[in-house]
Amino acid sequence: MILRPYQSAASDAIFKEWQDNNSTLVVMPTGGGKTVLFADVIRRVFPRRALVIAHREELIFQARDKIQRVTGLSADVEMGEYKADGGLFGAARVVVSTIQTQCSGGDGGGRMAKFDPQRFGVLIIDEAHHATSPTYRRVIDYYRTNPALKVLGVTATPDRADEEALGQVFQSVAFDYEVLDAIHDGWLVPIEQQMVHVEGLDYSSIRTTAGDLNGGDLAAVLEAEKNLQQMASASLEIIQRLGAHGVTRPTLDVGNGAHGVTRPTLDVGNGAHGVTRPTLPRALVFTASVKAAEMTAEIFNRHRAEMASWVCGKTDRDERRKVLADFAAGKLQVVCNCGVLTEGFDDPGVEVIIMGRPTKSRSLYSQMVGRSTRPLPGVVDGPETADERRAAIAASAKPSCLVVDFVGNAGKHKLVTSADILGGKVSEAALELAVTRARNAGGPVKMAEALDEAEAELHEQKRLAEAARRARLVATARFTTQLVDPFDVLHLDPVKPRGWDKTRQLSEKQRSLLAKQGINPDGISFSQGKQLISEIFRRWDGKLCSFKQAKVLRKYGYGTEVSFAEASATIDALAKNQWKRPQTTDYATTRKGDPAWN
């Protein structure tokens, strides 16, 4: 299997981090191919043995099958009645196991005791945002009794609270590739957000438990017939409106869907009369309780017979498979679920996510939205550039996915929206501006574009303010500040520090590099220091002016996106003119490429 460019970069970054650390983390969105990535890592560490830990049965078998396809190595499952060979001879090179299985056993040692940590070279934790729990820590500590063991965690967008805790488990973050990166690069479909105001919906009295809305309180609000009626009716109207555009939505054939085979489906309402027409877009509904899932499906079916069904964790396994098979075949347009399809469910044909379960957890929200962000099979596999992939998605039967949130009185709660999972690298001000506009839009909003536009608008405001300040400085020919902000000089917006970096300090080598460039490292966080060092290297690689030169150029109103040689010539001219800006404007560097002047 040929890796995508970001997967290849992530794989290389992991091994680079392992040169200095025994454990590292990769952040990669749902649908980004995390399993393919760690399968490549397993291939590269061969002949050392690998252990993969996850927490759900669906993830276990998916991982086993993909690892075997990507690497050609045998993989055993250790779970329930499945037993991996833990012996010295004939053991599979890869073991895939659940965390529950590893910890099970009446002797207190768990089934992990059958495995010798010394015989494994790498431990991989799938959905690593769970790795901070006591059970995971117990298993990790057991295998870490092998001092040569390397540990890799992979996760989608983690919660901010999780990040700091993850920093206690993993020594570094090797690669951070988030949802917005994948959308911009054309690997995932764009996310549209629609916020629906529901009269009488009130979350203000709901308690917070373990960082999220209390399940019992939330269920009481969302099992109210009036609220469910409004939410289901609004959702049906949105789905029908999408279907009214006349887009023929091919649905995955249950038997051949993995190969991209598609076929038309009978409309449930008219199929008995032999009439066929394009199906409505298929929607997943996430609910706050099992009762809410059952009630919501029943309300959908009142509007349109047999269009919806529901599943939960206690649904019979065969019945669940039938429901999901009918959903994939287009016989059902809506499947409601309570906590069972958040992970391990992959159906690229899902176009709509209906959030009947509001949350304060960015990680949970990301998992739910991730059920719809995959493009249809084969759409992005051929095109070589990001522009070509985005164009292929736009021309496909699934040009985007729609996330529907229901807005009421949130009270003191900060509920997560799609902007939160897209805005990991966007300023808080831009995120808040985009969310406000989405709430007031009255229809679907392309959230990636909304975030880009909000960031650009705020940057323009900053540019105008900076230009005015510069004009005043040039007019008075004075520049008296003693403390120079390196981010201001280099036109950088300081990154939001990630939780796992909060307790980290710049190394002496990093501090020395900044100091040699004329930047005082005191008071600069680890995240911001890395950002400045990346900019320094970018300037070196591009033969652009140094920070010291940029500081002088900015002082006298010149641009900083110029070559080292051009900057030297301008500074020499300033010196010869007794450090007064020459009246002529024919210097190549004057305001050239400076975002504060363009």
Identify the band that residue 264 occupies on the pLDDT scale cut at 50, 70 and 90.
very low
Question: So what's the pLDDT on residue 395?
Answer: 94
Average confidence score pLDDT of the chain: 84
Residue 249 pLDDT > 70: no
407 and 267: one domain? yes
pLDDT in tens, 269-290: 333 333 333 468 999 999 999 9
Rounded Cα distance between 311 and 340, Å, is 7
Question: So what's the pLDDT on residue 492?
Answer: 82
- Looking at residue 148, its amino acid is A
Average pLDDT over residues 225-234: 91
Residue 332 pLDDT > 70: yes
259 and 399: one domain? yes
Domain carrying residue 85? 5-177
571, part of any domain: no
Chosen domain end from 424, 440, 455: 424
586, part of any domain: no
163 and 295: one domain? no
304, part of any domain: yes
379 and 245: one domain? yes
**DSSP letter for each residue of 19-38:** TT-SEEEEE--TTS-HHHHH
Q: Which of 114-118, 243-247, 354-358, 459-463 has the weakest average pLDDT?
A: 243-247
Question: So what's the pLDDT on residue 464?
Answer: 80
Residue 251 pLDDT > 70: no
572, part of any domain: no
CB 163 within 8 A of CB 390: no
Domain total of the chain: 2
pLDDT in tens, 290-331: 999 999 999 999 988 999 999 998 999 899 999 999 999 999
Question: So what's the pLDDT on residue 469?
Answer: 64
431, part of any domain: no
317, part of any domain: yes
Question: So what's the pLDDT on residue 328?
Answer: 93
266 and 151: one domain? no
Strand pairing partners for 262?
252
207 and 343: one domain? yes
156 and 207: one domain? no
301 and 415: one domain? yes
Question: So what's the pLDDT on residue 368?
Answer: 93
CB 404 within 8 A of CB 235: yes
Q: Which of 125-139, 168-182, 546-560, 577-591 has the weakest average pLDDT?
A: 577-591
280 and 362: one domain? yes
Q: Collapsing DSSP states into helix, strand and coil, what is residue 263?
A: strand
Q: Collapsing DSSP states into helix, strand and coil, what is residue 518?
A: coil
CB 498 within 8 A of CB 526: no
Chosen domain end from 111, 144, 177: 177
Rounded Cα distance between 199 and 226, Å, is 9
552, part of any domain: no
Chosen domain end from 177, 210, 244: 177
Domain with 15 in it: what CATH number? 3.40.50.300
CB 310 within 8 A of CB 335: yes
Rounded Cα distance between 489 and 595, Å, is 11
The region that residue 274 occupies, defined by phi over 0 for left and psi between -120 and 50 for alpha, beta otherwise, is left
pLDDT in tens, 55-113: 887 788 888 888 888 888 888 898 888 788 755 555 788 999 999 989 886 555 678 88
Output the six-digit token pair for 420. Answer: 């939160």
The region that residue 564 occupies, defined by phi over 0 for left and psi between -120 and 50 for alpha, beta otherwise, is alpha
Q: Which of 342-351, 450-459, 490-499 has the weakest average pLDDT?
A: 490-499
Q: What is the DSSP letter of 494?
A: P
pLDDT in tens, 189-204: 999 999 999 988 999 9
pTM, two decimal places: 0.80
Phi, psi at 499, each rounded to 5°? -55, -40
Residue 586 pLDDT > 90: no
Phi, psi at 94, each rounded to 5°? -130, 135
Average pLDDT over residues 437-444: 88
User: How far from each other are the two terminal CA atoms of the chain, in whole angstroms?
Assistant: 45
137 and 235: one domain? no
80, part of any domain: yes
Residue 260 pLDDT > 50: no
Rounded Cα distance between 431 and 419, Å, is 6
pLDDT in tens, 453-489: 888 888 888 778 767 766 655 444 333 333 568 888 8
Residue 184 pLDDT > 80: yes
Torsion angle, alpha carbons of 537, 542, 545, 548, to 10: 0
286 and 395: one domain? yes
Residue 263 pLDDT > 70: no
Rounded Cα distance between 89 and 7, Å, is 33
CB 376 within 8 A of CB 396: yes
108 and 228: one domain? no
Question: So what's the pLDDT on residue 258?
Answer: 35
Task: Find the DSSP H helices in 343-446.
Answer: 362-369, 386-395, 418-422, 428-441
Average pLDDT over residues 517-538: 89
pLDDT in tens, 125-180: 998 888 888 899 999 999 999 999 999 999 987 776 677 788 888 999 999 998 98
